[in-house]
A and B are shown apart, each in its own frame.
Chain A
Amino acid sequence: MVGRGAMTNSIEELTGSKLLLVTGSNTTETHPVISLRMKKAVKNGAKLIVIDPRKIELTKWASRYIQIRIGTDIPFYNAVANYIIENKLYDKEYVDTRTRGFEELKKHLERYTPEYSAKICGVSVDDIIYTAKEYAAASPKAAVCYTVGITEHSCGTHNVQALANLGMLCGNFGRPNAGINPLRGQNNVQGTSDSGSLPTDLPGYQKIEAPGIVEKFEKIWDAELPRKRGLTKISAMDQMIKGKVKFLYVVGENTVVSDPNANHAEHALKSVDFMIVQDIFMTETAKLADLVLPASSFAEADGTFANTERRIQRVRPSISTPGNAKTDVEILLSLFKVMGRKHKAEKPADIWAEMSSTSPLFSGISYERLENEGGIQWPCPEFSHPGTPYLHKNQMESGEAGIFSPVDHIEPAEPTDDEFPFTLSTGRRRSTYHTGTQTGKAKGFDKLIDQEFVEINPKDAQELKIDELDVIKVESRRGSVEVKARISDKSPVGAVFMSFAFPETTRTNNLTSDAVDFITETPEYKACAVKLSLIR
């Protein structure tokens, strides 16, 4: 494993790659501006390999499209790695000098021959062989881009490890126009993790369990700190149902709509004695709260966002908060104050200065620099440091060799069967965003998409006698929704797709399963078993 959940390289670097391998990312819909750089790369002569169960729009630009069966990423990439090793297409010097565990990996991959994996993945042997040949030939200028199609599986972390193995084999870490690049989904998901809002990490990904870290922060913050790792969101919800959580504070999240198995999530939140929601709208989640605090939208906020390429950018207020609403920073400061612990730094610039000084990742970034130079990419340890367009340049950021992680194929937690014969994947569409609290209010957007649809392959539609726009009941073991059908060969046979942007009419997450990645606890949104029946 190497690194953290951020792009190893930069968005703009994609235009200079020799090969882009895009997998589990419907980039033209979910990250449209990154898809432009991909299209530019193709125009500049790059090969584009798209590996995705859904025949997404980006396949139009692809030199190779491989329609992989849902949830079979590991056998595919293991076989690609196996072919690369067997045919000595890997970067031997890089493997010798920058990595560890090659022999173990080699041995582990022996059974993942292209023939063996092709059967599991529902692809041809050539698909695997040519992906291997082309990826190796383009290295070290081959970039992998992935999104939640890779991570939202119960084996999500292992999926990423399989990709990272491939990247290390061919020397694509620490080189420009290369890398393994997760494209992240929300404007400041990166900054939120950077800030230490994680149960295991203090700011700058400094692990609570690493020696000396808690002590270091106790000095900086002049307070005694808890040693025990905290509850992840998913385990916290289990604890809520068990009655162990008495008090819950939620900032700007529509949990009961966005979380899997929504009935379960709602039940969990209702089990808490006192719940506070800090948000800009009365969301489905806020309705469950006992106390609601009116906060700021991005247009009123003063601070920073960090994007998927680790770039810290300034967010500046255009107007002030409506009525008696306060900015999120003001609200947090007042929480400190009411507890008799007035926070010293009050201006966003000073809060940033305090946070950045705690971690070498961003200690070289100040508001003054952001003002003068624009966004800066971490790591940036010194004020004289220009920021880091790509990670792992001369050595892995960990300071140690990159470790190959042998991983095995795991089927989705809820396979299809006779009763529930279809696999449902959920995701976003371009003109609707997440739970729809923002795009749902934008004038004109209802002309683009005005309601939820279930996308179904023409063959399946024919078999079930479903016509375009027929109302369908989609049912899983946890719940059901009624929704109109869109017949589209984007969906592979046996699989259907829905977004979750219209919670008022269609609660897609009533269907999704509780299964989570056994390491990061990311929900398996990309695979749960459903059945379809025609209503009218």
Chain B
Amino acid sequence: MLKTDLIKIQVNGTPISIPQDKRVLDAINLSEQKVPTLCFDERIGPQGTCRMCLVEVKLKQQVSYVASCTAMVEENMEVFTHSDSLIEYRKTLLELTLSEIKWDQKSMDNTTLTNNEFKMAVEEYKPTNFFPKLQPREKVKDENPFISRDYDKCIACYRCTNICNDWEQASAITIDGRGQDSKIFSFFDNKLMNSNCTFCGQCINTCPTGALSNKKLELDKPVEKTKTKTVCPYCGVGCGIELISDGKKVLGATPDFSAPSKGSLCVKGQFASWDFVNSKERLTDPLLKNKHGEFEKISWEKALDTFREKLKGSIDNYGPDSTVWWASARVVTESNYLLQKFARTVVGTNNIDNCSRT
């Protein structure tokens, strides 16, 4: 039998076929049902540390409880995700977890995860009984401009350290200490600027509680925010990003996990993709140089008339090939298509090029 051969299993009574190299969590997702997960990020694979995705499986008359992110599917397996005892179990687990941290709705709303499983679990299981709060943790003194850390919100799910070590392979952060003293740490002085950190921001983007957050994002503002899926404005990889805006200004960017880049970004896409958009130095009006060599604001009408007059003068006196047109690798293809079409059909020259050489 091949790893990819299909086998039959049931999830809450729904029969499905799934390749036998898949895990129980894949089967649950394939059957369009859900179990909460905390430590799971598909880019780093199963960890099995948080135990939130525990499910009941029945196989050959035997009942057992397994972490669905780690357990493999088996022929004729029956999976139950929401038995009474599992619901009670998850609620207790959440109460224990939440008792250890300082949490609030706002910081969970403000995580950059698109599907925040932690938030969804809290909403689904409504934890009520909490243990006495712990002593507040030590505050982190790290003046890096991008990433802030709040140990009071850390549930030690290890997603950040795993994504840093296994996915980015930057190995900038690790877990230091044990139990309630465990915290995210970077060598040697706990300052990210002095570590291997490249500020790719993936630790922020996988953190379910807001313990790690983006210092540059203006998410706290009480305004209506929209998210727009688009493409990063830097290199040719074309990573998917989502721009957050209040309608007037871009407030920040988060990764688009649904794009082929799977949420990966580098320091530029993560932290430099919007300041320049909002910059006060942006050009806002057509500018014409006067005879003193200074720019003066003019209307579009005047700008276009000047354009026509100068272009016609050049064509009439020196021919279409006295004009040169340079397209930009920074603007949309549609605009460049129009530019070359204009040069060729309206002006009559093939003197069109772009910066792919420079």
Contact = CB atoms under 8 A, between A and B. Distances in A.
Interface in A308-324: 308-309, 311-319, 322-324
Contacts of A328: 328, 331-332, 335
A291 B356 contact: no
A225 B334 contact: no
B164 to A, nearest CB: 12
B222 to A, nearest CB: 19
Nearest to A306: B333
Nearest to A447: B145
A191 B271 contact: no
B189 interface: no
* Residue with the greatest number of chain B CB neighbours at <10 A, chosen from A197, A337, A351, A516: A197
Interface string A310-349: 0111111111001111111101111111110101000010
Nearest to A279: B283
Interface stretch (B56-64, B81-89, B108-116, B318-326): B318-326
A151 to B, nearest CB: 9
Given A187-B236, A338-B308, A291 B288 contact: yes
Interface in B259-315: 259-261, 264-268, 271-272, 274-277, 279, 281-289, 295, 300, 303-308, 310-311, 313-314
Measured as residues with beta carbon below 8 angstroms from the partner, the interface class of chain A is 35 or more
A250 interface: yes
Contacts of B307: 276, 291, 335, 338
Interface string B318-358: 10111111111111111111111110111011111111111
Given A192-B328, A199-B351, A324 B284 contact: yes
A431 interface: yes
B204 to A, nearest CB: 14
Interface string B213-232: 00110000000001011111
Contacts of B200: 32
A36 B167 contact: yes
Given A199-B350, A236-B324, A520-B357, A438 B331 contact: no
Contacts of A221: 341, 344-345
Given A251-B339, A259-B358, A315-B230, A30 B235 contact: yes
A190 B317 CA distance: 35
* Residue with the greatest number of chain A CB neighbours at <10 A, chosen from B250, B266, B322, B353: B353
A313 B283 contact: no
A464 interface: no
B40 interface: no
A205 interface: no
Contacts of B335: 251, 301, 303, 327-329, 331-332
Given A232-B353, A318-B228, A448-B267, A246 B322 contact: yes
Nearest to B145: A444
Interface stretch (A123-131, A292-300, A481-489): A292-300
A352 B334 contact: yes
A82 to B, nearest CB: 31
A319 B279 CA distance: 14
Contacts of A12: 260
Contacts of A336: 338, 342, 346
A63 interface: no
A281 B238 CA distance: 23
Given A195-B340, A299-B274, A336-B338, A247 B322 contact: yes
A233 to B, nearest CB: 4
A443 interface: yes
B243 A438 contact: no
Interface in A25-74: 28, 30-34, 36, 39-40, 43, 61
B351 A299 contact: no
B333 A304 contact: yes
A405 interface: no
A374 B259 contact: yes
Nearest to A334: B304
Contact of B235 (A31, A236, A331): A31
A245 B322 contact: yes
B2 interface: no
B29 interface: no
Interface of A: 5, 11-12, 28, 30-34, 36, 39-40, 43, 61, 183-200, 202-203, 208, 217, 221, 223-226, 228-234, 236, 239-240, 244-253, 255, 258-260, 272-274, 276, 279-282, 286, 289-309, 311-319, 322-329, 331-339, 341, 343, 348, 351-352, 354-355, 374-375, 430-431, 433, 437-439, 441-445, 447-448, 516-517, 520-523
10 nearest CB pairs, A to B: A323-B284, A303-B332, A444-B145, A307-B238, A230-B350, A252-B328, A197-B327, A184-B236, A442-B272, A32-B266
13 contacts: A5-B356, A32-B267, A189-B354, A197-B353, A199-B353, A258-B358, A274-B314, A291-B289, A303-B332, A303-B334, A318-B244, A328-B331, A355-B334
